[in-house]
Amino acid sequence: MTADLLLALMIFAFVSSVTPGPNNIMLMTSGVNFGFRRTIPHMLGIELGFGMLLLAVGVGLGALVHAVPGLQLAMKVASAAYLLWLAWKIAFSKAAGGAASAGERPITFLQAALFQWVNPKAWAMALVAMGAYVSAEAPTLSILAVTAAFLAVGIPTATLWTGFGIGLRQFLSDPRRLRIFNVAMGLALVATLWPMLR
């Protein structure tokens, strides 16, 4: 991979990772409700799950999804159902740190990793990245380069979105403001379905 192509890949990975989407909305919400330490498994689950998705798309899963319309529909239904469940969970969360969060739990490592497989934005990013940056001359090396680029920017961007949430914790310590925030984030998560349903 040339230096120019690698730079373009890194810019694409950063921009697509840092822009709002289901993962980033959930990370910000987790930062507000659970703080940084309790959100780390969520962040790491996103990285592992998305890395595995990238590798799978690179070695042929993306072509299979495009070739089997029934599989595309099943993935859309599963994505929509899971996103709606997560939106409900976020909208009606009562956690905000301290004693109030004792009964609430953040998304686990495994839940975050598995979510990547039904996350419409993750699939779009993986399909575009593998289609644009994998070369026919060195497919294995370029698949690994694409995956490494996304992993390199993934933790910093996940940390940034979690940090946004942590920055809002003081403002959202008021239960009414927190309720409004959580409902707004739940609705924002539902809104991420729009591109998939068009």
Residue linked to tokens 């301290």: 98
Lowest mean pLDDT among 64-73, 116-125, 135-144: 64-73
Q: How far is CA 110 from CA 42, 60, 117, 162, in A?
A: 8, 24, 12, 18
pLDDT tens digit sequence for 1-56: 788 888 888 998 999 899 888 999 999 999 999 999 999 999 999 999 999 999 99
Following DSSP, what letter does each residue of 106-130 receive, concatenated? PPPHHHHHHHTTT-HHHHHHHHHHH
Q: Residue 37 in 3-state DSSP? A: helix
Question: What is residue 38's predicted lDDT score, i.e. its pLDDT?
Answer: 95
Residue linked to tokens 């009964």: 103
CB 31, CB 170: distance < 8 Å: no
pLDDT tens digit sequence for 138-154: 888 989 999 999 999 99
Please work out, in degrees rounded to the nearest 5, the angle formed at the alpha carbon of residue 166 by the alpha carbons of 28 and 17. Answer: 35
Average pLDDT, rounded, for the chain: 85
pLDDT tens digit sequence for 89-118: 878 876 555 434 456 789 999 999 999 998
